[in-house]
Structure 1
């Protein structure tokens, strides 16, 4: 009898939830590409690098302070972060946004990078440049070489470390996205990029500096992991934004919006579009595939991005090329060259291939049908609640 009463109580709770919290079975997805006010923009998957949206993304533009993303990652990778930097008169007198450094002040390189990114300190940028390369001109040359040879961008020429206007100081939305993607692989950069505020104690300025990017607090948006703002009259308003939700991490860059509000509206619309429509698939390093008597393995973690509602087929070709294909259109989404396993290791690799493939199939099946499974459970609970709602009074009477 006690057990039956508990069952009835559980049914009552379910009915109560069913009445007060209706289940929204279908969620709205925005599949239409947004119409932007910004002159140039791009959205890329941070993991795969796949382009999810672009508008004039290869057009040369003035980036303003988005330049500081490049300066920061270059300084992190090429400087001694604990070394003291002596501030010059030239750095002290840099115009625009500052962290109010004083001539002769000594500041750790890491702190200057934080001031550069969080408070967009132009004076910190010049101090970093002079410390690493001797002058702003030499630093620009070193930075451009680094961006081309190490990061791999081809349409960027920076004349300074901060982005104050120079007619030759140009880049593209695509290049800024690629620079950000590269930088986000570095833990320190990633940590600084997501800092909303920091206590700043200098010789002439003690305060709490705040990240200027409004989506990191002032305009809440779920999933934001960092960002950088920029503005000079010639560049308009520029934004670089990183964000992550579940199976997707994205980088959004917008250039030359005439109004600050437009830059944020464009960024939000692009984030919504990406999260509504795309997800990242992952193939772990070491996964093996059999092709006749040959065995191929995945050398490094592989990523590709596809539409949320599209079925994807992964197939290995005879030459060891793994193709991810959209089953609906037969279009190849992305292809990867795998490594052939040496003869001595094939017996081990073959058994590993079977296990790896089975595990990946299980994960793929679970991820693909998770929403449907949850939906069936919720609908079942709802049906039970509706049925017993009509009979609950009789049930309670019978068990008194």
Structure 2
């Protein structure tokens, strides 16, 4: 009866949980962008998504991937000789001259802060020799290092190409990975940069309106804009309110300000509804099959401020759900081996000391008597043998 009651409760909980997951998925933020993703920058938890795995075109958000790949593979103080191919690039530039010699880090700054397409190609050619080879290596890097699955780039700048695509989720994962590098983070958050090139000496200013303060959001710490006529408006943004850090990506907004309004909606939603907590080392989570799992070390997780549910599967994957049953994050726990049952040693009951002494005396007396009898028999046989002789 007890087992039947437990099973019934589990079934009711499962149905209740599934109902709320479905209900939560129906709710949508009022975003005008066609695709969006909001991540916790520290834990990687997905806090909100809209068409997040739909194939989209990133425009200059591509330069985020180009930058982190170049930073990890190249030498920042290396002097790059700018090619004619780089100089002839369409779109936004930092007006490099053919044959100009520029440090790799300066090219990265010109590419990320001013979105220079000429700088992007100069970086690609310096790292891998040519744009096609750079694109191939970049795609392999993104798959192997970051784990993206729906991204394919054909150039380092983001100029439109039908085979140059990504998704909001992949772009958020790439950005989230990149900002953990201090060099990238520094450039990504640069608002104004003195530029001293052969043909252009000026202060270049980030194109990201939230970062430079034109679209007020003080918590913003970094960002990159993108636009082509085919791609429409794209935006990647990072923000920090002192309690939680967020990464937001929006793709394909029709109007320039729409991407900032959508990003504001996403960041407000993240800051208002989520917080960090820690699962302590050794804390035990038990499955329905009575298996026990726990983290090997203290583990930072994201949970909804209104409360959360934690369910662990038989493979040790812990699902953290909000109070509406919507999945926030999953973390892998370690199986806790049950302690082996101790086999009690079989002890021989101890006898009373006095009784034991009495038994020992009786045994000794028995042996003495037996020896005397044997000696008497032997003596008798010897005497008999002498008489016969």
TM-score normalised by length of structure 2 = 0.72
Aligned-pair distance for 1:75?
0.3
Counterpart of 2:350? Answer: none
Find out whether 1:109 has 2:112 as its counterpart.
no
Q: Write the mapping of 1:337-376 to structure 2, written as runs, cut at 5 A.
A: 337-339=332-334
CA shift digits 1:198-229 (9 cap, x unpaired) = 11111111111111000012112021010000
CA 129–335 in structure 1, closer or farther in 2 if over 3 Å, else same = closer
How many residue pairs are counted as aligned between the two chains?
A: 307
Mapped to 2, the partners of 1:266 and 1:335 lie a distance apart of 26
Find out whether 1:152 has 2:144 as its counterpart.
no
CA 87–314 in structure 1, closer or farther in 2 if over 3 Å, else same = same
Mapped to 2, the partners of 1:125 and 1:265 lie a distance apart of 28
Q: CA RMSD in A?
A: 2.6
Find out whether 1:214 has 2:209 as its counterpart.
yes
Counterpart of 2:236? Answer: 240
Which runs of no fewer than 5 residues in structure 1 stay unpaired?
Answer: 1-31, 344-400
Find out whether 1:193 has 2:205 as its counterpart.
no
Aligned partners of 2:294 and 2:333 also within 8 Å = yes
Counterpart of 2:299? Answer: 302
Mapped to 2, the partners of 1:169 and 1:319 lie a distance apart of 37
Counterpart of 2:251? Answer: 255
Aligned partners of 1:165 and 1:234 also within 8 Å = yes
Mapped to 2, the partners of 1:291 and 1:243 lie a distance apart of 33
Which runs of no fewer than 5 residues in structure 2 stay unpaired?
Answer: 1-26, 339-389
Mapped to 2, the partners of 1:255 and 1:261 lie a distance apart of 13
Mapped to 2, the partners of 1:184 and 1:255 lie a distance apart of 19
Mapped to 2, the partners of 1:69 and 1:98 lie a distance apart of 16
Aligned partners of 1:33 and 1:273 also within 8 Å = no
Aligned partners of 2:285 and 2:294 also within 8 Å = no
Bigger-Rg structure (1/2): 2
Mapped to 1, the partners of 2:292 and 2:50 lie a distance apart of 42
Mapped to 2, the partners of 1:60 and 1:174 lie a distance apart of 10
Mapped to 2, the partners of 1:165 and 1:240 lie a distance apart of 18
Aligned partners of 1:237 and 1:257 also within 8 Å = yes
CA 78–56 in structure 1, closer or farther in 2 if over 3 Å, else same = same
Aligned-pair distance for 1:334?
4.2
Counterpart of 1:270? Answer: 266
CA 159–332 in structure 1, closer or farther in 2 if over 3 Å, else same = closer
CA 48–198 in structure 1, closer or farther in 2 if over 3 Å, else same = same
Find out whether 1:281 has 2:261 as its counterpart.
no
Aligned partners of 2:248 and 2:267 also within 8 Å = yes
TM-score normalised by length of structure 1 = 0.70
Counterpart of 2:365? Answer: none
Aligned partners of 1:44 and 1:51 also within 8 Å = yes
Mapped to 2, the partners of 1:44 and 1:291 lie a distance apart of 25
Counterpart of 1:20? Answer: none
CA 170–202 in structure 1, closer or farther in 2 if over 3 Å, else same = same
Aligned-pair distance for 1:246?
3.0
CA 158–257 in structure 1, closer or farther in 2 if over 3 Å, else same = same
1:99 to 94, 113, 130: 94
Aligned-pair distance for 1:273?
1.6
